[in-house]
Structure 1
Amino acid sequence: MSDSDLSSRTALVTGATSGIGLETARQLAERGATVLLHGRTPEEARAAADHLVATTGIDATQLCSFAADFTRLDEVESLANRVVTEHPRLDVLVNNAALAAPERHTVTADGNEIAFQVNFLAHYLLTCLLEPALTSDPGGRVVNVSSSLHRTASISWADPNRARRYSRLAAYAQSQLALTVFAADPRVTAVSVHPGVCDTALLPLYAHEGVTPAEGAASVVRLCDPTVEIVNGAYYDRAERVEPAPAATEDRTVRRLSKLADLLVGRTA
């Protein structure tokens, strides 16, 4: 893995208060990057930044805390507006925040199934709104932290909220397939990555044991490094580029998902 200096880079990491997100923020900052840590609440984001400063040699000036509850799309909009205002040049966006779909079918105040909104729709909206800040220079990129479970999924186009037939595993897998498909959207320079099965809050969806969040984060951070060449729209299983599920790169699916997402987040052409 490259250990190149990232002191000229600014990266936003969503879901940076625990697990892979916190470790991704730590590893980026330890290599010199300015890291915008996103948490669900201001208190959680601030606590994560304080923890990193207290337990590492990271300078507090490298860390900026931001908050938005991804179950509320208005908060996602506010987050994007603040980032664009305060950091008009953003080199990397790591779309990492995720939750396991609950046992019972749950819909957000915006009317979307909760895993589909938090894991995909919020990141779709955030990425679109951050377009003015995301650099188009070589090395600028979006990294979607996806999952191998996307291979088991299908997008329920007629019922994306899965109101008629709900299963938590199917709902979670659908959100990960959508995030993987989004990396192939030609409007963004992006990749998606399965960081391996890690010992995080999502572990029960996969197995009984996993690698450390730090090991998973290393696969994410590698793709944030501008010296690591990426293939736009590609899917990586840890450090290796592999083919995603066939639907993930179909032009028709990419266009159809974009239309659906625009509708669900209230964006108009």
Structure 2
Amino acid sequence: MLLDWLYLFNLRVRPSMAGTRAAEVGSYLMDPNRQLSQLPLLNTVMKLPCASLLQLFGPVLVDSFRVAGVSLSFPSSIRYASLTTMAPVFLKRAKQTGPPREAATYKLSAQLTQIFPPRPAFTEKDIPFQKGKVYLITGGTSGIGLELAKILYARGAAVYITGRTEEKAKKAVEDIQKTVPEREGRIDYILLNLDDLSTIKASVEAFKEKESKLDVLWNNAGIAQPPAGSLTKQGFELQLATNCLGPFLLTHMMLPLLEAAVEENGPAFAGTVRVVWLSSQVAELSSPPEGIVMTELSNAPQDNVRNYLNSKVGCWFLSAEFARRYGDERRIVSVAMNPGNANTNLLKDARWTKIFTYPLQHSPKLAALTELYAGLSSDVNLDNNGCYVMPWGRIHTTVAPHLLNAMRLKEIGGTGRAKAFYEFCEDKTKDYY
């Protein structure tokens, strides 16, 4: 396992240090007794013997390296830039292969391109001036949300960020104003504690005192792997409450303002009023066949990683259900996304996870571009309402079949698990409107 991470560290952070020759790498990976469960990165993708995996997609991988211009003799290293070029090529080539190779290569490549995304094709330069638009970003005092707020403020929008404390929220607002001086945009904050359902109504009322509409709500705030057994004041598992129940309640209490924006924008700008939900790649890679085990919601396992996984699958389910319920009738777009692996304080309570994932982490600014794409790109619209966005702004077209099935209603052959989760959230938040 350590050797695997040293390889990743060399490729990602210290390219000049990676001196392993192709033959050495090949003999290491082709050991038929070495399972992918021993490789931290690939264990999340597919549990097959390494030799079998390489036999399945070897020709495609070789072609991908050639097309990307990466030397197969590894004279020094595989540069990270080459990997980001290779991943989408690998995905394209995988589509051209026939069975039985296709399923394995396609699954792997669809995940690799999220770990090593290509350069962003949609940036702040691609959005027009945003004067008159009103945006709300939860958790915008740091990390990805802060970077997104800077972009939107610089383009002239009225931007609201949320913070748990007034001191932290004020400091973030001041930092944004200093970073982007003399702009026509407005930046302000709302105090919000998503882990305390009893306080969310007051936060919504505070926002309504300042604005009469809301064009895009980014449910960006989240928590990962807090101390084991962490519960909210209402007795819910902390990650489920912060990542799902709180955003669910906030979003539904903001519905009148979202509808007001739809009315103001008119048919010419249909699909521009949106709710963005922050999911994660782990939702696709590690979730059980049914997506979420419903009994774990009321009886949370003593496994914070599992609870985090449930909350991220839950965000995806809420996005899909919100799109189904409010898309056609109210013309509101709902989109879930994997923002990308960003170096933020999300894993502040999971030190070792943060250390070992560091080689795969990117700037929060790049992840903010994923959120920008989900919220403002015309690629996302009412026709593909409920879609899923990948780093750094691409629509995911190869979603894991078990999740697609979970998001389908029973009446059309699915399991209806997303609907069941939505109804669970309805029940747990009904007393706080």
Is the 8 Å Cα contact of residues 131 and 184 (structure 2) preserved in structure 1? no
Give the match for residue 241 of structure 1: 395
What SS class does the counterpart of residue 389 from structure 2 fall into?
A: strand
* Aligned residue type for 1:195: P
Distance 1:195 1:102 in 2: 21
Runs of 4+ off more than 6 Å: none
User: 1:14: Cα distance to partner?
Assistant: 0.2
CA-to-aligned-CA distance 1:63-102 (integer Å, 9 cap, x gap): 1110111121122121122223321110000000001122
Give the match for residue 253 of structure 1: 417
What SS class does the counterpart of residue 380 from structure 2 fall into?
A: coil
What SS class does the counterpart of residue 345 from structure 2 fall into?
A: coil
* Aligned residue type for 2:256: P
Match of 1:146 among 279, 300, 305: 279
Distance 1:117 1:96 in 2: 14
Q: TM-score, normalised by structure 2?
A: 0.58
Is the 8 Å Cα contact of residues 71 and 108 (structure 1) preserved in structure 2? yes
**Which residues of 2 match residues 18-57 of structure 1 at below 5 A?**
18-57=142-181
Instruction: Report the structure number with the largest CA radius of gyration.
Output: 2
Show structure 2 runs of 5+ residues with no match. Answer: 1-121, 327-332, 348-352, 410-415
Structure 1 vs Structure 2 CA RMSD? 2.1
Report how many residues are paired. 268
Answer yes or no: is 1:160 the counterpart of 2:297. yes
Higher strand share: 1
User: 1:226: Cα distance to partner?
Assistant: 5.7
Match of 2:229 among 102, 105, 110: 105
Answer yes or no: is 1:265 the counterpart of 2:429. yes
Q: 1:260 to 1:224 in 2, by over 3 A?
A: same
User: 1:194: Cα distance to partner?
Assistant: 0.8
Answer yes or no: is 1:8 the counterpart of 2:106. no
Distance 2:243 2:345 in 1: 14
Give the match for residue 305 of structure 2: 169
User: 1:232: Cα distance to partner?
Assistant: 0.8
Match of 1:89 among 178, 202, 213: 213
Is the 8 Å Cα contact of residues 225 and 304 (structure 2) preserved in structure 1? yes
Higher helix share: 2
Match of 2:357 among 207, 222, 231: 207
Distance 1:106 1:46 in 2: 28
Q: 1:253 to 1:97 in 2, by over 3 A?
A: same
Q: 1:60 to 1:47 in 2, by over 3 A?
A: farther
Q: TM-score, normalised by structure 1?
A: 0.92
Answer yes or no: is 1:128 the counterpart of 2:252. yes
Is the 8 Å Cα contact of residues 317 and 419 (structure 2) preserved in structure 1? no
CA-to-aligned-CA distance 1:133-175 (integer Å, 9 cap, x gap): 0133421001112211112134231230443x32111111111
Give the match for residue 232 of structure 1: 385
* Bigger mean CA offset, 139-148 vs 83-92: 83-92
Is the 8 Å Cα contact of residues 6 and 225 (structure 1) preserved in structure 2? no
Match of 1:190 among 326, 334, 342: 334
